[in-house]
Structure 1
């Protein structure tokens, strides 16, 4: 009887600690995705002192510090956070993998660290380094999957890497296959969908990635709106979730819904860290240019795109590419094909991973009127 009572006490204590840990982690993650970085880092630092062997916390700490520096001080300084984080955290994860070889969380978050390095390579268009970093991450994440195939958090990074690979050149795909990576777009999306609906932590990022894929590549705007709305509504402080949702509304020509949401979009470029304001303003101008273009207001869309192009400072260049693409089409419809071709060439430069790349190449060769008439 005394043994049974002791067992119940220990079980209750363990459940209480686990519940508190889960609650504290969820609060830190909520702060992270609502861009409350100081609060998030404070919570994670407290958690790390009490959970020294935890797999998730070091990864979240690096992510929060990186995002904080990125938005306040710029992308170059933010890269150092990731480089330093990898140097400091990799030995810890390798030790934990040796100590707990049956725990999939350590190889998952070690692999995810290399995924952050891949992001830097992507921003700098270092395609070979991207595949190498991605392959290192893929190796560890796949190890986690081999340990526990029902550990659904692994499907987000695997699906993301495989989708990027399926959209890459044949030479990049070949290198990826040498490292054991698949390049099937449909299967990659299925993995992301699995993580989106069944994972403990990566459902947020899975829906973010899927929103981006459906919006910009697969052109399934209804799915993009559904997924982006689920995360934008859950994390109203996250500006980029809001802008994904807003663009899905525009692409579906739900202009009244966009107008109701416009004050939230404006808030993000009027308030917050410097680099957030810069990026959100460019995205806001892009959405207004897209609305103007979709409503045949070509002079207005040209002016808005020119405003983006002339002052562009954002790390990733895809909005710049779309601005050139829309401006080129606007200018050509207004009658100046020679100027439009220059924009199409810039669109080709910046949109290599997007369907508009092929359309821009076609527009360089043939007038827009001929393309429209032949479809």
Structure 2
């Protein structure tokens, strides 16, 4: 499965925030700012916080993440990767020094592991597959060791749960790696329990944990009521974050709450103009897909197909999860219209994405058996 910025960008950052260090309240203001897309304000806060609270374990990685998110929204990809890589190289020696000064505090090691893990994200973006594996292994090994020795850090359950969940869905080699290399349980059930624990009890990881659970229960293992519960919390706390509004809108649609869904769709439209050009390229396809789903559920197939064509033909997001769902829905509509050959074409295009989503399973079924509403 391809990596997705809005889904994984902040995992390393928020997993280990603990409100016990001088400056945490200031850093939280920055975190709230960049979750609401005000990355410029977040960077300004963190530039000062790095000077005022240099021993705070959170501030340095938060600064890296804020600059990364800002660059993603405004710069070409090559500049984004260059900026992120340089910032990581700047921060790693700071964490090594803090570990030497405070060897009994596990949080500095956790942040070091998280920072090293972000090097894997740089390598992934540059398609340097070996470096992706090596940096990812180095970073996660540090995180895992600290988490096992400090079970009281509930927030650490999130990255462990994500690895267990997705390795449980993967091929035998990946499951072996999760079990043999890291001692984890490659199981979707075990992984989801850890993510849920972080969502319910994590001091800070609840944000990304609920985002992960909403994502899972919309597109991996559909449970519409759970998706609605988690996505509602997210839009309530971060009303300006477009991605969370997308999650909430589809959750409303999948729970047949059509009046609320229509209002949420209108909010997606009104919020769209405030996005940067890069974010507009990402989210146009998402917005059009949500409208297509709304039209489909109201039996307006011409409008649904028109929106789906825009979504599919203008897909600019890094993760192809919505693309797969758009192709599946287009196939279903063509089946309902008696256009079987066109339907099969889109089912096959969906399956070719091979992204572990529930849409793939549905498309495989309907290649052999026409969809009926």
State the TM-score bracket (shorter-chain normalisation): 0.7 to 0.9
Aligned to 2:319: 316
Matched, 1:138 2:131: no
Distance 1:94 1:284, change over 3 A: same
CA distance in 2, matches of 1:122, 1:223: 31
- Compute the displacement of 1:240 (Å): 0.8
Aligned to 1:67: 69
Aligned length: 354
- In the alignment, structure 1 segments of 5+ residues that lack a partner are 1-17
Distance 1:290 1:39, change over 3 A: same
Instruction: Trace 1:117-128 onto structure 2 (pairs within 5 A).
Output: 117=119
Distance 1:319 1:286, change over 3 A: same
| 8 Å contact kept, 2:235–2:241 | yes
Distance 1:148 1:72, change over 3 A: same
Give 3-state SS (helix, strand or coil) of 1:272's partner.
Answer: coil
Larger proportion of helix: 1
CA distance in 2, matches of 1:111, 1:28: 22
Aligned to 1:29: 31
Larger relative CO (CA 8 A, sep 6+): 1 or 2? 2
Matched, 1:273 2:280: no
Distance 1:361 1:131, change over 3 A: farther
| 8 Å contact kept, 1:131–1:175 | no
Out of 329, 337, 343, the position equivalent to 1:340 is: 343
CA distance in 2, matches of 1:133, 1:217: 27
CA distance in 1, matches of 2:295, 2:126: 31
Distance 1:325 1:316, change over 3 A: same
Aligned to 1:361: 364
Aligned to 2:234: 231
| 8 Å contact kept, 1:114–1:136 | yes
Matched, 1:90 2:92: yes
Q: Which runs of 4+ in 1 moved over 3 A?
A: 74-77, 114-135
| 8 Å contact kept, 1:158–1:191 | yes
Matched, 1:296 2:313: no
CA distance in 1, matches of 2:49, 2:248: 33
* TM-score, structure 2 normalization: 0.86
Deviates more, 1:122-131 or 1:245-254: 122-131
Aligned to 2:310: 307
CA distance in 1, matches of 2:165, 2:129: 15
| 8 Å contact kept, 2:335–2:343 | yes
Aligned to 2:178: 176
| 8 Å contact kept, 2:81–2:125 | no
- Compute the displacement of 1:294 (Å): 2.6
Distance 1:87 1:20, change over 3 A: closer
Give 3-state SS (helix, strand or coil) of 1:314's partner.
Answer: coil
Aligned to 1:283: 286
The alignment yields a C-alpha RMSD, in angstroms, of 2.6
CA distance in 2, matches of 1:108, 1:275: 32
CA distance in 1, matches of 2:131, 2:343: 34
Aligned to 2:112: 110
> Which structure has the larger Rg?
1
Aligned to 2:157: 155
| 8 Å contact kept, 1:108–1:141 | yes
Deviations 1:73-97 (A, max 9, x none): 2444323333223322223323333
* TM-score, structure 1 normalization: 0.86
Matched, 1:194 2:197: yes
